[in-house]
Amino acid sequence: MNDFQKLVYRNFSKIENTNLPEHVKKVVDQITFCRTNAVPGIVFSCPKHRLSIFMRESCNNRSCPACQYQNREEWKSKTKQLVLDTGHYHMVFKLPSFCYPYILKYYKEFIEILFSSSKKTIEKILNYSNYSHSTQGIISVLHTHGEENQLHPHIHMIMSDVGISENGERLVHYHNELFELQNYDSIYLTILKKALIELHKRNPDIGDLFLRQVVKMKEQRIFISDKYETAEHIIEYLGSKIKGSSVSLSSIDSIEDGIVRFKGKTSLTEMNEGEFLRRYLLHILPQGTKSVRYFGLYGSASRRKLQTARILLCEEKFYSDDYYDSSNYEERREPDTLIQPHKTCPLCQSKMLITETVAAYCVPRIVYLSYGKDPPPSEYEDQFRKLIA
């Protein structure tokens, strides 16, 4: 177990006896026993007998800090290959703070409101501009946490600074005047208020106080960054907390004497175990909720348009002065493929084969082959997770 798992395990019975939603308790159960002796395991071996790797099954839950590291790296790699090699804008859409007390009961509804309201705001602005008949690339990412892991749902949106015309024959460049804050703020406020009022109509038990607070809303600010030359910096930032988990193992500095110390943006933050776990459990999303969504050129239905945009963009850059600058080669080349030792042998690049399945609390046969009839005690399992055959 890693330190985070040990923390969850110590508080397992307390969590089970709370009135938390069942999907939260299910996630806690999966995370607690992820990759431990309590779950089955598999031995992967190189066909040339150079390497064998023993791995216990992972829960692969998006809220598990141990499982999501690899998924984050894969998402960042695939997203960098997906986006166009051009400038991108970064926008952040938030919910008003008076919504926070109601979020846990209506989690899915508020998340849908955030995604739909931010998307409709972009579409409305484009319809009011000279770019109404173009398709741009958009990726929306849900983050539910603040710097100290408090509940703070918001949408990060990446938008390409170029799109493709309706007939698909030319590129359309979006200029900075499109992003005038007063336009965005007023339009987003109108769309958001309408969505929140509709939420109250569908769920009147949310209370009249909520409705009065919605009606009194006067402004809802939106963060819009200056244009980035590429989307890589934004993708790296978003990838650090993507796929649902608000905690990464690298961000936990220490867990001692009931105090958790974890790294924020600028400094270490301390809080007791109970409060740390309470905040962590707030970010476990309901089952079936998508935390990353793709629109326009980056949507799955627009792959042909995206390919056309790449060709047009390459033709445009072909005639630019800096295209042949060798210093830009490293920025333009494809990212390295992630090597997973249980899939590809790191020594000979052969495809690894499954040679043994191991039941929970059992030792793989390869250990007996390597150590004889008296293998090391079970507490040394980490020692033979990766065995040289």
Q: Is the residue at 353 inside a domain?
A: yes
Average pLDDT value for residue range 47-53? 84
Which pLDDT score, from 0 to 100, does residue 263 have? 80
pLDDT for 245 beyond 70: no
Question: Regarding beta strands 223-224 and 292-296, do their DSSP bridges make them parallel or antiparallel, or are they unpaired?
Answer: unpaired
Alpha-carbon gap, residue 230 to 167, rounded angstroms: 26
User: Greater confidence, 204 or 348?
Assistant: 204
Please give the share of the chain, as a percent, with pLDDT higher than 90. Answer: 23
Which pLDDT score, from 0 to 100, does residue 388 have? 36
∠ at Cα 64 (61, 66), nearest 5°? Answer: 115
Where on the phi/psi map is residue 158: left (φ > 0), alpha (ψ -120 to 50), or beta?
Answer: beta
Which pLDDT score, from 0 to 100, does residue 94 have? 92
Is there a single domain that holds both residue 302 and residue 158?
yes
How many domains is the chain partitioned into structurally?
Answer: 2
pLDDT for 84 beyond 60: yes
Q: With H, G, I as helix, E, B as strand and everything else as coil, classify residue 17.
A: coil
Is there a single domain that holds both residue 103 and residue 17?
no
Q: Is the residue at 161 inside a domain?
A: yes
Which pLDDT score, from 0 to 100, does residue 244 have? 53
> What SS3 string covers 83-143?
CCCCCEEEEEEECCHHHHHHHCCCHHHHHHHHHHHHHHHHHHHHHHCCCCCEEEEEEEEEE
Structural domain that includes position 36: 3-62+341-387
Is there a single domain that holds both residue 52 and residue 90?
no
Is there a single domain that holds both residue 290 and residue 382?
no
Average pLDDT value for residue range 222-227? 83
Is there a single domain that holds both residue 175 and residue 220?
yes
b/e 228-247 (16+ beta carbons within 10 angstroms → b): bebbbebbeebbebbbbbbb
Q: What integer best gives the mean pLDDT of the chain?
A: 82
Average pLDDT value for residue range 20-48? 88
Q: Read off the pLDDT band of 375 (50, 70, 90).
A: low
Is there a single domain that holds both residue 92 and residue 176?
yes
- Over residues 185-198, the pLDDT tens digits come to 888 999 999 999 99
- Over residues 162-187, the pLDDT tens digits come to 889 888 888 888 876 676 655 678 88
Which pLDDT score, from 0 to 100, does residue 320 have? 57
Is there a single domain that holds both residue 94 and residue 208?
yes
Is there a single domain that holds both residue 91 and residue 56?
no
pLDDT for 200 beyond 50: yes
31 φ, ψ (degrees, to nearest 5): -65, -40
Which pLDDT score, from 0 to 100, does residue 362 have? 86
Q: Is the residue at 356 inside a domain?
A: yes
Give all strands (DSSP E) within 146-267, no chain letters: 151-165, 171-173, 223-224, 252-256, 259-263
Alpha-carbon gap, residue 263 to 5, rounded angstroms: 18
Bridge partners of 173, per DSSP, are 162
Bridge partners of 52, per DSSP, are 45, 387
Which pLDDT score, from 0 to 100, does residue 165 have? 87
Q: Is the residue at 269 inside a domain?
A: no
Q: Is the residue at 77 inside a domain?
A: no
Other Cβ atoms less than 10 A from the Cβ of 91: the count is 21
- Over residues 275-334, the pLDDT tens digits come to 988 888 888 888 888 889 999 999 988 889 999 999 988 887 765 555 445 444 444 444
Is there a single domain that holds both residue 184 and residue 291?
yes
User: Greater confidence, 325 or 241?
Assistant: 241
Which pLDDT score, from 0 to 100, does residue 211 have? 94
* Angle separating helix axes 65-82 and 3-10, nearest 10 degrees: 130
Which pLDDT score, from 0 to 100, does residue 113 have? 95
Which pLDDT score, from 0 to 100, does residue 208 have? 93
Is there a single domain that holds both residue 310 and residue 205?
yes
Closest CA to 83 of 247, 228, 256: 228
Alpha-carbon gap, residue 168 to 149, rounded angstroms: 44
Alpha-carbon gap, residue 371 to 178, rounded angstroms: 68
Is there a single domain that holds both residue 303 and residue 364?
no
Q: Is the residue at 278 inside a domain?
A: no
Q: Read off the pLDDT band of 378 (50, 70, 90).
A: low
Other Cβ atoms less than 10 A from the Cβ of 129: the count is 14
Which pLDDT score, from 0 to 100, does residue 112 have? 95
Task: Output the pTM of the full model.
Answer: 0.81
327 φ, ψ (degrees, to nearest 5): -65, -20
pLDDT for 138 beyond 70: yes
Q: Read off the pLDDT band of 114 (50, 70, 90).
A: very high
Q: Is the residue at 96 inside a domain?
A: yes
Closest CA to 137 of 86, 188, 192: 86
Q: Is the residue at 306 inside a domain?
A: yes
Range in 80-94, 262-276, 308-322 the model is least confident about = 308-322
Is there a single domain that holds both residue 165 and residue 17?
no
Average pLDDT value for residue range 201-215? 93
Element (H, E) at 80: helix 65-82
Range in 24-28, 86-90, 230-234, 241-245 the model is least confident about = 241-245
